[in-house]
Amino acid sequence: MTTDLDETSLATISLLEARLLRIEHHLYGHTTPQNKNTAVRSLRELEHRFRKITHDVHVYNELLKIYKSHPDLFHSSNPFEAPSLLSTDAIRAIVLASAASYPATASSLTAIDDTPIPDPALSAGLAALIPRMRAVEATQLAQSAEIARLRAQSEVVIRQWYERDVMGYSGFVARVEDRIELVERDIRRVERAQEEV
């Protein structure tokens, strides 16, 4: 009995995953199923992916809200007929409650229809420029490498100039000033000696 229950649970989870994969394929393109270890982990990952879809796609989130508030709307044996669990008055009340959003939706759809399609010649012209843009990009990369090399060389030259010339000149000036001070001291000593005589 337990194995039958486990098999049923795994079959249910795999069916849920197949449905979710179909939805993800419609939304995001090709998706590959991931390896699962346990039924609990599989279910947890499916729930996480489903929450991500309802978070990313506003329409699904709104449908879930409608389903939670009016679950009877979604129970119908024939999808082309109104749900049998609701009366016509109840369906009319639900539709009229959402009537205010119909003009805005229609206006949005009309705006999409009125958007002009760009001239295909412009797209073809842009596509024809791709090789030139790649060549310009390669030139820019080469120039960036050359600039980096020149910067490094300039840094070496400036450091050498600073260490050899500027610091060397500063050392020379400091030595000359020391000698001048010694000479001035000697001159003052001689002058004092002459004054004392």
Is position 81 within any domain?
no
Confidence of residue 139 (pLDDT cuts 50, 70, 90): very high
What's the mean pLDDT in 4-19? 72
Is position 115 within any domain?
no
Is position 120 within any domain?
no
pLDDT at 170 over 90: no
Is position 103 within any domain?
no
Helices 39-56 and 58-69 cross at an angle (nearest 10°) of 110
Is position 130 within any domain?
yes
Is position 42 within any domain?
yes
Q: What is the extent of the structural domain holding 162?
A: 126-196
Report how far residue 35's alpha carbon sits from residue 40's, in angstroms, rounded to the nearest whole number: 13
What's the mean pLDDT in 13-39? 66
Confidence of residue 154 (pLDDT cuts 50, 70, 90): very high
What's the mean pLDDT in 92-104? 79
Tell me 129's DSSP state. Answer: T
Task: Provide the domain count of the chain.
Answer: 2
Report how far residue 55's alpha carbon sits from residue 60's, in angstroms, rounded to the nearest whole number: 8
- The residue among 59 and 89 whose pLDDT is bigger is 89
pTM beyond 0.85: the answer is: no
pLDDT at 22 over 60: yes
